[in-house]
Chain A
Amino acid sequence: MTGWKYFNTPFSEPNTVVFRVLGDGAIESCLATRHDVQEWIAQGNTPEPADE
């Protein structure tokens, strides 16, 4: 499973959506405000920057 990475689009504010690839290849994405993402950040992790 990869770490969280930001994903930006023209339709939402920058750095509000994150995604990662799970062990089975599924792609999980969500708002960065979700509690488990926030817990992951609180543990000292930082999402990778979005692709330009």
Chain B
Amino acid sequence: MALPYTFATQPTGNVPASYLDSNFAAVQIQGTQAIVATGVANTYVATPADALSPSYAAYRNRGFYVSFPANNTGPSTINFSGLGAANIYKISGGSATTSLAANDIIANAPYLLVCNGTDFVITVSSSSVLPQNRLDNVSGAVYQLDVAATTDNAFFADRWLMLTQTASVTPSVLSAPETGYASGIRVTQTQVAAQRFGFQQTVESVNCLDLRSQTVSFSPRVRISNSQAIRYAILAWTGTADTMGASRDTVLDWTSSSYTAGGFFIASNLTVVAVGSSTPSANTWTTLPAISGTCPAGMNNLLVFVWTEGTAAQNVTLDFDYMACNAGGTPYFYEPRPYQQELDICSRYHPVVPWNTATNAGGIYLGQAFSATQALVQIPLDVPSRIPITGVTVTGTSNMNLTNSSGGFITPSSIVFNFSRIKSVALVVIVGAGLTAGNATSLGVANTGTNQKFVFTGAEL
């Protein structure tokens, strides 16, 4: 029906009242009502000015703009005009009757609900407008570093820095630690003497400057073996962006119960945005209550830190399988990123070349001998590093080989960093003898090799 229906074409004479009815009916059909719903989480009530009648069936494919009084925590219903509770569905996975998940509805945000004749469908998923998680590798799925005992101020999983009070602890990987979670990390307090420990991540400046003067929230999902208090914090680095250096160890005094800069935390260039404490039940996965605060205007890096508030006895384990940190006062738990995407992101900070003949990992890298005992070999990086890397740790050198000009293999005695750009690294490979200066060579892994890798350093945060 084209509007206006009658007035433009009948400027004179009486207009039948039925034409007005038709016009109003057309407006009602084509328009939508704006509704501020009431009720409580998951059970909402809508009282539109133009009450729905006599049943939902009369409103099939009709839309309503609705805001809700509270976030939902699971499947939800809405009762329009007292017609009865109707389900609120979303379109997902090829189904238009998918029940809502927690936080699909955000309090006071506008949504378009369309009636399907029986229930309602949110046609715009709330997930498309939610703030993104600022953290990487939130479940520890990317574990390229694969270290054993980890000392204070050392990385153990990609993007995660271990901080310990006195001595090393031992991280390990958890596979499918609970329903709905594909991976996690366990940290075992292996020292006889009890100590505090925790893990920290620093968000790169370019990925958090928009949060200056903004509210940020954080919630870790953890499991501890013995039900002791877990502390967690949002911190802001106000020193030079991405250059924390030794200050990366943000703990000044593990024994302090004053969780302030200059108390528990280092005093310089660090702002404590928020601190929380919670004591989960023993061996129970627990999403710790959200903490939030306003980032300082001078923030250059955002950090999160989770640690044992008191000392942990030997063999206490602290696990995590999700970390939620985003803009706004509510942290959201998202589906994890695809592994390859997460790996690429982590490789910006932790370029690692694993070599394993069993899995065909690694590559063959070309170089040139510049003496009888040394060759310069170029290692291209799959993902450009954040900044040119400044070092490398090489394991399994004895399982690598360097070709000589007659097609033979020479086992390196050492491999040392020389220089780099963000897309490649030049290493010097040293052998006892057998190279010819000026000849080409290549570095590969011997058939027996299973545990070689280059861990490049200097781009981490």
A and B part of one assembly: yes
A6 to B230, alpha carbons, bound, how many Å?
Answer: 43
Residues A11 and B418 in contact, CB atoms below 8 Å apart? yes
A36 and B245 CA atoms in complex are apart in Å by: 9
Chain A, interface size: which category? 20 to 34
Is B245 a contact of A35 with CB atoms below 8 Å?
A: yes
Q: In the complex, what residues of B have CB within 8 A of residue A11's CB?
A: 376, 418-419, 426
- Say yes or no: is B422 at the interface (Cβ < 8 Å to chain A): no
A7 x B245 contact (CB < 8 A): no
Given contacts A9-B374, A30-B457, A39-B246, contact A17 B417 (CB under 8 A): yes
Q: Say yes or no for B416: interface residue by CB 8 A criterion.
A: yes
Encoded as 1 (CB less than 8 Å from any B CB) or 0, chain A from 2 to 36 comes to 00000101111000010100101111111101111
Please indicate the chain B residues that have their CB under 8 angstroms from the CB of A34 in the complex.
390-391, 457-458
Q: How far is the CB of B379 from chain A (nearest CB, A)?
A: 13
Q: Give A9 to B246 CA distance when docked, in angstroms.
A: 29
B418 and A30 within 8 A (CB)? no
Given A9-B374, A34-B390, A39-B246, check contact A29 B417 (CB 8 Å): yes
Q: Does B415 contact A (CB under 8 A)?
A: yes
Which chain A residue has the least Cβ–Cβ distance from B416? A29
B246–A30 CB distance below 8 A: no
- What residue of chain A has the Cβ atom nearest to residue B392's Cβ? A29
Separation of A36 and B397 alpha carbons in the complex (Å): 24
Which residue from A9, A25, A28 sits with its C-beta under 8 Å from B391? A28
A23 to chain B, nearest CB (A): 10
**Residues of B contacting A39 in the complex (Cβ-Cβ under 8 angstroms):** 246
B414 at the interface (CB under 8 A from A): yes
Assess the B417–A30 pair: CB atoms within 8 A. yes
Compute how far the CA of A17 lies from the CA of B418 in the bound complex, rounded to whole angstroms. 7
B246 lies within 8 A of A19 (CB): no
Instruction: Give the distance to chain B from A26, nearest Cβ to Cβ, in Å.
Output: 4
Q: Which size class do B's interface residues fall under?
A: 20 to 34
Instruction: Tell me the bound Cα distance from A46 to B417 in angstroms.
Output: 19
Determine if A25 and B395 form an interchain contact, defined as CB atoms under 8 angstroms apart.
yes
Please indicate the chain A residues that have their CB under 8 angstroms from the CB of B374 in the complex: 9
Given known A7-B428, A9-B428, contact A26–B416 (CB-CB < 8 A):
no
CB distance from B164 to the nearest CB of A (A): 16
Within the assembled complex, what's the spacing in Å between the Cα atoms of A5 and B425? 20
Taken together as a complex, chains A and B put the C-alpha atoms of A25 and B246 apart, in Å, by: 26
Q: Among B392, B395, B397, B416, which residue has the most Cβ atoms of chain A within 10 A?
A: B416
Residues of B within 8 A of A31 (CB): 390-391, 417, 458
Task: State A12–B416 Cα separation when bound (angstroms).
Answer: 13
Q: What residue of chain A has the Cβ atom nearest to residue B414's Cβ? A: A27
- Are A10 and B370 also in contact (CB < 8 A) when A29-B392, A30-B390, A34-B391 are? yes
Bits for B411-442, please: 1 = Cβ < 8 Å to A, else 0. 00011111100000010100000000000000
Task: Please determine whether B458 and A30 come into contact, CB atoms closer than 8 angstroms.
Answer: yes
Partner of B418, one of A9, A24, A25: A9
Say yes or no: is B118 at the interface (Cβ < 8 Å to chain A). Answer: no
Q: Which residues of A contact B417 (CB under 8 A)?
A: 17, 19, 29-31
Nearest 7 A/B pairs, CB to CB:
A30-B391, A29-B417, A26-B395, A29-B416, A31-B390, A28-B393, A35-B245
Residues of B bordering A, CB below 8 Å: 245-246, 370, 374, 376, 390-395, 397, 414-419, 426, 428, 457-458
A-B contact pairs, 7 of them (CB 8 A): A11-B426, A19-B416, A28-B394, A29-B392, A29-B416, A31-B391, A33-B390
Report which A residues bind B (CB closer than 8 A). 7, 9-12, 17, 19, 22, 24-31, 33-36, 39
Further contacts, 17 of them, CB under 8 A, given A31-B458, A34-B391: A9-B374, A9-B428, A10-B370, A11-B426, A17-B416, A22-B393, A26-B394, A26-B395, A27-B394, A27-B397, A27-B415, A27-B416, A28-B394, A29-B416, A30-B457, A31-B391, A31-B417
